[in-house]
Amino acid sequence: MVQVDENETVISRCPKGGLYFDPVYHPLEHAETFAEIDAGQPYYDTFDWASHFDEGFDAMRLRARTLYEETDYAIVGNMCLHVFAAGQALGECR
């Protein structure tokens, strides 16, 4: 199975018997100058960040404070990400 973008470019592939899609298209893979990296702005603008980024930090802070002050729930943060995720997806490590 493959996933394609609006231009029919294969962007990820699920290996036979696999459970997850692996990225195979890295739009900035061959970028070598700042101008080539800057030209990738459309990719940065549409990069699909992890779903927990759909909620802003202010909203998360408010929700955590509400849970802390109004319930007996434990509050646990798990960001399951690293700061280089976008760079690795967009520019495949060499």
Which pLDDT tens digit goes with each residue over 16-31?
A: 998 888 888 888 888 8
> Residue 1 falls within a domain, yes or no?
no
Q: Are 15 and 9 in contact (CB under 8 A)?
A: no
With H, G, I as helix, E, B as strand and everything else as coil, classify residue 63. helix
Could you tell me which residue, 63 or 56, shows the higher pLDDT? 63
> Residue 2 falls within a domain, yes or no?
no
Phi, psi for 63 (deg, rounded to 5): -65, -40
> Residue 19 falls within a domain, yes or no?
no
Considering its fold, how many domains does the chain have in total?
1
pLDDT of residue 51: 57
Q: Which domain holds residue 84?
A: 26-91
> Residue 70 falls within a domain, yes or no?
yes
> Residue 73 falls within a domain, yes or no?
yes
> Residue 18 falls within a domain, yes or no?
no
> Residue 14 falls within a domain, yes or no?
no
